[in-house]
Structure 1
Amino acid sequence: MPETINLELRGGDFHAEVATAGKGAPLLYLHGAVGQKGWAPFLDLLSQRFTVYAPLTPGYGSATGLEHLADLTDLTLYHLELLNELGVTRAHVVGHFLGGMIASEMAAFSPSSIDRLVLVSPAGVWRDEEPVADLLALNANELSERLAATPGVAASLDGVAAELDRDRMQDIAAAGKFLWPLPDKGLNRRAYRIKASTLILWGEQDRINPPSYVDDFRKMITRSQTGTVANAGHLLMLEQPEAFANAVAAFLS
């Protein structure tokens, strides 16, 4: 079982809650916009090889300070500060959707802080002809139908139904501050600064963030490779935890 680290940042403006477990090279896991946050079985698998840190993004759960973040740059700098507060000077970073967006920016803003990078269905680019799903426009049933590879399966995944019922509106409101009206905040202008070897990973049946976006990230990030997880949608880390953890661990190792 993970332990929980509680930290106060910037004189108490932020309260951070970080679940951690394992031994080995540090790995920072940044959760997505909705459907999964905190600890989960795939993190247990990764903690067998790495020291995993899984913080809650400000505005999620008991993590406070969202009102002190004006934009994605603020959110990125916050996470770099959080690494420092954890005593980690350099880490592997794995981020899903919103977390992948943050991870990309961390790697561009502070290349020396990032060892290897795994972007899991990351947000951050946009095509008018193939838009990312508008999570704000989907009701609970519609969202649940689209989060997994097979309609209706998401509700049966570990903790997803309870999380959607309890936290959906809070989580989407927090994510919306950085993802909407469009998730494209100009990463393409900064991606040349990303020096970390990068794995771009997608669920083959992602119906929230189209898998075709993998090509945009591959073209932006010089030292990148791509991979897919079969029989998985947007929540690939919950649908196929062993395949996901194995793919990440193999790349990082």
Structure 2
Amino acid sequence: MLQAIGMKEEQGFKYIDQGSGEILLLLHGLFGALSNWEEVVNKFSGKHRIIIPMLPIYELPVRQAGLEKLIEFLESFIDHMGLEKFDIMGNSLGGHMALMYTLKHPEKVNRMILTGSSGLFENAMGGSFPRRGSYDYIKERVEYTFYDPNTATEEYIQEVFETTKDIPKCLRIVSIAKSAQRNNLAKELHKIKAKTLLIWGLNDTITPPMVGHDFNRLIANSQLRFIDKCCHAPMMEQPEQFNKILEEFLNKEVA
């Protein structure tokens, strides 16, 4: 898997850094992992330097678990890596972070790609305390985030299940999910000048299609593309279509 192949660790940061060229910084979601971006790395690391930090969702102090601390982490990571100008892409909570970082550091971000991003509205799995000890419940909730339930492997479901059995981890998940709901960016998005691509699953149950339309309306320099038979993680569910749309965007903006 992707983590095993290219994981680097230094000064408290765990991340993947593959390829060379224009920098593409990728941010995973609340229940995400570096492997969520595997097909993107395979496709684009030939022409881009792809950097994916492992977000410290389960390492934050419980009382401080929220987007503010995650943004502080991201700022420290970017400083550590010496990144000056880059494209940023985020899924779900990672999209929310990309938005907040871009609003705070517009000079750093060249282009932004959001897919199933929170920041306006989301049906958050972590919005209430996950039902601990019920594998069937966790399986149902995980499969709910995919159009084809078979996309959720037993390994992935088991990983989420183990996480929700851990009370401190659960508390962090709930705290971060509530922080995402508090940090509604509707009144801030008009400030974003970066060219933005929105890739949305037409069958998204977490951030429904209307959310994609709202982002498109509120971010002036944005374009919205939908993928059919696709839910909340297009880069995992429909990687070929996702990569084709992303490639068109990146190539067009370079040309």
Superposed pair shares fold, TM > 0.5: yes
Equivalent AA in structure 2 for residue 132 of structure 1: N
Cα-to-partner distance string for 1:224-252 (whole Å, 9 max, x where unaligned): 11011222111221111121122222212
| Counterpart position of 1:123 | 118
| Counterpart position of 2:233 | 235
| Counterpart position of 2:156 | 160
Deviation at 1:55, TM superposition (A): 0.9
**1: CA distance between counterparts of 2:33 and 2:182?**
23
Task: Find 2:69's aligned residue among 71, 74, 78.
Answer: 74
Deviation at 1:212, TM superposition (A): 1.2
Deviation at 1:91, TM superposition (A): 1.0
| Counterpart position of 1:108 | 103
Equivalent AA in structure 1 for residue 23 of structure 2: P
Deviation at 1:172, TM superposition (A): 5.8
- TM-score of the superposition, structure 1-length normalised? 0.83
Deviation at 1:67, TM superposition (A): 4.9
| Counterpart position of 2:50 | 52
**Structure 1: segments with no counterpart, 5+ residues:** 9-14
- TM-score of the superposition, structure 2-length normalised? 0.82
Q: Does 1:6 align with 2:9?
A: yes
Cα-to-partner distance string for 1:101-121 (whole Å, 9 max, x where unaligned): 000011101101111000111
Higher helix share: 2
| Counterpart position of 1:197 | 195
Equivalent AA in structure 2 for residue 38 of structure 1: L
Deviation at 1:143, TM superposition (A): 1.1
- Closer, same or farther: CA 25–220 of 1 in aligned 2, 3 Å: same
Spell out structure 1 runs of 4+ moving beyond 6 A: none
| Counterpart position of 2:94 | 99
SS of alignment partner, residue 157 of structure 2: helix
Cα contact 1:98–1:175 (8 A) shared by 2: no
**2: CA distance between counterparts of 1:44 and 1:33?**
23
- Closer, same or farther: CA 142–163 of 1 in aligned 2, 3 Å: same
Deviation at 1:50, TM superposition (A): 1.2
- Closer, same or farther: CA 49–174 of 1 in aligned 2, 3 Å: farther
CA RMSD in angstroms, aligned pairs only: 2.5
**2: CA distance between counterparts of 1:25 and 1:169?**
40
| Counterpart position of 1:18 | 15
**2: CA distance between counterparts of 1:174 and 1:243?**
33
Deviation at 1:219, TM superposition (A): 2.0
**2: CA distance between counterparts of 1:53 and 1:166?**
27
Cα-to-partner distance string for 1:164-221 (whole Å, 9 max, x where unaligned): 3443566664443232176241312322331210011111111222121112211221
**Structure 2: segments with no counterpart, 5+ residues:** 132-136
- Closer, same or farther: CA 94–181 of 1 in aligned 2, 3 Å: closer
SS of alignment partner, residue 143 of structure 1: helix
Deviation at 1:21, TM superposition (A): 1.0
| Counterpart position of 1:226 | 224
**2: CA distance between counterparts of 1:26 and 1:198?**
16
**Aligned pairs, how many?**
237
The sequence identity of aligned pairs, in percent, is 23
- Closer, same or farther: CA 162–141 of 1 in aligned 2, 3 Å: closer
SS of alignment partner, residue 152 of structure 2: helix
Equivalent AA in structure 2 for residue 119 of structure 1: L
